[in-house]
């Protein structure tokens, strides 16, 4: 496909309490098949989606945290996290999972594509996006 667009998935909901986080992940994985330039933005309670150490063994729910770790393999290039949202929740990037990325053609590798960004960067990144999907 020649018409590559910049897609951003905007995630503002906590995982598990509602279906938003899971639905977003599903759409990202489906969209990955269409070879677009994809980034994810996590803000407000959405930052909780990336907190490591989730254990759903007593909740009768699927733990979908491992799925985020595979996003790099699906062509997702950036997972941005709003710094202020982390701080308001007593979190740092140390609390978050790491997601590796590799370009299978050029063999370019990035150890972790999860990146904390400030409000100005969030504004810029969203403005640069051609399509924003909100969850």
Contacting another protein (CB under 8 A), which of 37, 54, 70, 93? 54
Q: What string marks each residue from 105 to 134 as x (binds another protein by CB under 8 A) or -?
A: ------------------------------
Question: With binding defined as CB under 8 A, does residue 19 bind another protein?
Answer: no
Give the total residue count for the chain: 135
In contact, 117 and 10? CB cutoff 8 Å = no
Q: Does 67 bind another protein (CB under 8 A)?
A: no
**Residues forming a β-bridge with 80:** 41, 115
Tokens, residue 13: 């909901």
Phi then psi dihedrals of residue 4, to 5 deg: -85, 125
Among 15, 31, 72, 75, binds another protein (CB under 8 A): 15
Asked if 89 is part of the footprint of another protein (rule: CB under 8 A), the reply reads: yes
Q: Which residues contact residue 66 at a Cβ distance below 8 angstroms, ignoring those fewer than 6 apart?
A: none
Size, binding site for another protein by CB under 8 A: 23
CB 96 within 8 A of CB 51: yes
- Residues making contact with another protein (CB under 8 A): 13-18, 44-45, 48, 51-59, 61, 63, 88-90
């Amino acid at each position: 496909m020649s018409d590559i667009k910049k897609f951003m998935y905007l995630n503002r909901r906590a995982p598990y309490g509602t279906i938003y986080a899971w639905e977003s992940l599903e759409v990202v994985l489906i969209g990955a098949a269409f070879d677009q330039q994809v980034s994810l933005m996590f803000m407000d309670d959405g930052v909780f989606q990336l907190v490591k150490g989730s254990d759903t063994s007593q909740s009768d729910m699927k733990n979908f945290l491992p799925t985020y770790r595979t996003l790099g393999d699906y062509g997702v290039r950036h997972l941005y996290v709003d710094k202020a949202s982390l701080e308001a929740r007593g979190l740092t990037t140390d609390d978050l999972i790491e997601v590796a990325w590799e370009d299978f053609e050029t063999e370019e590798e990035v150890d972790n594509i999860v990146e904390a960004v400030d409000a100005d960067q969030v504004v810029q990144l969203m403005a640069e996006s051609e399509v924003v999907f909100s969850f």
